[in-house]
Structure 1
Amino acid sequence: MKAETREAQAQAWSPEYLAAIVDSSDDAIIGKTLDGTIISWNRGAEQLYGYAADEVIGQPISILVPEDRPDEIPTILDRLRHGERIDHYKTVRVRKDGERLEISVTISPVRDATGTIIGASAIARDISEQERAIQEALRLREDFISIAAHELRTPLTTVFARLQLAERRLSRDEYDREALRRDVEIVRRGADRLRGLLERLLDISRIRSGRLELDRAPADVVALTRQVATELGENAGREVIVRGPEASAEPATVDAVRIEEVLTNLVDNATKYGAKDQPIEIDIAEDRASVRVSVSDRGPGVAPEERDLIFEPFHRARRDPRGVGLGLHVAREIVRFHGGSLTVEERPGGGATFVMVLPKADA
């Protein structure tokens, strides 16, 4: 019995079995001599680099190296001759079709029975997608820092300047109470802008971590829409036309505070970007399952190539870079968390129409 077990183990760890393991790996596994000649090439290497084994065996490993990295292979081979193992080395290689790949490779010296180094094995995997994701994350971080710093600086400068002015007014025996009241009002508005920006930045963090919580309860979305339209229209001194029912036939189970935030963002954007001498139009429609709110302006509209991009964080339209580029992203994610959708389309006759569709039941 023990003899049979030893025989089975010997077969399991035979050179043929080990070769089959190497050949079935998704990673590119390459054997080479100390002068860089390729002597083995598994199926993972074929998939990664595009060469069949009979095309590369006997060829120098340098066929995979970009022309702008001529010293890389000699340096690696020298380290291998000294018995050094190279772990998770990030570099660039070139496929047969000329495509450049970001790879992570581990290269180990191979020794014979006497311990003499006779070659090297390299195990590589494509990390192009990870590297692109890292670069995108770094770009977003830089955008975040740059835009947030700019947006925070503007209200902070106003607040600081007005507080200095108020301080000087109060130092006088007789001061203008009305002027001081205006200073305080400007400081309050600046503080509100800071609070709003910080809340949106926090929302971005909550959305990305999946921790944006909704306090759902039955609410009349139609009445809420009319309320937001009236208040923002009066504050901006703009005409806002609302068409549709006066109230919902059935309430929707939503977080009313969050949906008010979405509606405020859409109407506020329409007042900013729409033609000043033209009304903002809001159309409301509902059925038993959902409520649909469309907010239209008669401004320059949104170019087709930007209709998805404007919902991405920190994206601002090329023709009008006002704002921090967070409002529409947060608005869309809030609607998505409710199981609904927020899109933009061209308004017939010119301008943009933002369409929010919310299910009435808890999605």
Structure 2
Amino acid sequence: MDSEIFRSAKILIVDDEQAMVRLLELLLEHVGYTNLRSTTDPREVLECCAEFQPDLILLDLRMPHLDGIQVLKQLEERRADLYLPVLVLTADVSRESKRAALEAGASDLVTKPFEQTELLLRVRNLLEMRFLHRDLRRQNEALEAQIQERTHQLLEAEKLATMGNLLAGVAHELNSPLSVILGQVGLFATTAADDSARARAREIGEAAERCAHIVRSFLTIARRHPPERGHVSLNLLLRDAVELLAFELRIDNIEVQLDLESDLPLVWADGHQLKQVAVNLIANARQAMREASAPRRLSFLTRHEVQSRRVRIEVADTGPGIPPEIQARIFEPFFTTKPEGESTGLGLALARGIIEGHGGAISVESRPGEGARFLIELPVETPRLTHGEPETFEAALPVPGKTILVVDDEPAVAALLAEGLSRDGYKVDTAANGAIALRKLAAQNYDLIISDSGMPVLSGPELYLERLRHRRCPQFEHPGIPRADRGPSAREALHARERQACGATSSTRDGLTRRARQVHVPQAVR
């Protein structure tokens, strides 16, 4: 072990004879021990230990007031928490004295008069044990901290997974009625008798679309919904987010400052998800500033970093700031400093997931008493388009006479799809699950199958694989707002080379009919 460690060791000498104390000090100093303290009064041992924090105690056994055995018993509680060796020095060579000292907790014994080399070796051995024990204790504490952190992460991951399953289940149950509402609104709008009826249908559709956005937010939290990207103006998005909470900011006397770069490029992103991030940051800043003294200011800044091809957003407040010890944890799921019941601790975790899902980064800068500044960076990307697909998708015309089989366990959804497609001249049949669909496919030719994914008896992916196994697979589509159970396993089951599409499409009539027009099969199959 490093000699420097031994030279820094703290040694407490306890002996009622001053001459013996001085002798021990000289011996120890001669070999390099310089951090020494001594007392001739055993009643001062506890006080010396509390103040000096020794690594080793040299203790005489026979002393007035308190003998060595009594001192050892006083030290028992202190030595229980941390290994503190005690080397007993005694002129009493009786077996009973040695046994009593060891039973009281002595680490080792040296008989007076002692041989200098033996004494120094025993001192060194006990110090080495002390330091090894200290290092082991630190390692154990570090391991325990890691175990606690890993356990915490596992528990949080389990909570998040449970919540994700719950939200995904709710989203699944909401998707079918939302599909019906949106589809019926689309059908009604084409046959409405007057502008007033069409306007009401449009309002119903917009309300349903908002519900659909909420469902997609659920799926985003559950990580089962990919971003729906488009060209997004971050300046406009921030203004909309501020406007959304304008009333709350105004009643809390919070001034809003906007420093938005006028020629900021558009980003290829999911505008609804990014607005969710902005609203969350604004709500957090508002809550942080509610107890702060005036002026209360919420500032927004956007800049284009040309060289890095990224845009930067800064959201700063004049609240109390975030303590350094928790800054590293604020993006963890379920971590919150707010009272129980006031926050789920998911807002910033979701924000980080959204930003990182867009290839960006989010961080925080804060000093106590100086507010907090959140920094977001997003890449300026060019959307990747499939060659010719957008034009084909929009410009394709109906193909009257083609036969379509709609497979869905929700009768209202199946009826809606059948009606919408029938209006375009398609011949439509329905089946309540994959097993019924197989029987119909065995009896009749179809040019296109539009199937739900999760169904009783036989699911959509299982239906596809069954048809693929017999090499009889017409074009295969999964319509509707993405179902919660359309996870990676279901997608992988549909061999990419064999299928035309298995993506998320709009459940409105226009979206379905456009998709049906796009898919073309030269001949029917059975």
TM-score normalised by the shorter chain: which range applies? 0.3 to 0.5
Which of the pair has more CA radius of gyration?
2
More strand by share: 1
Structure 2 length-normalised TM: 0.31
Structure 1 length-normalised TM: 0.44
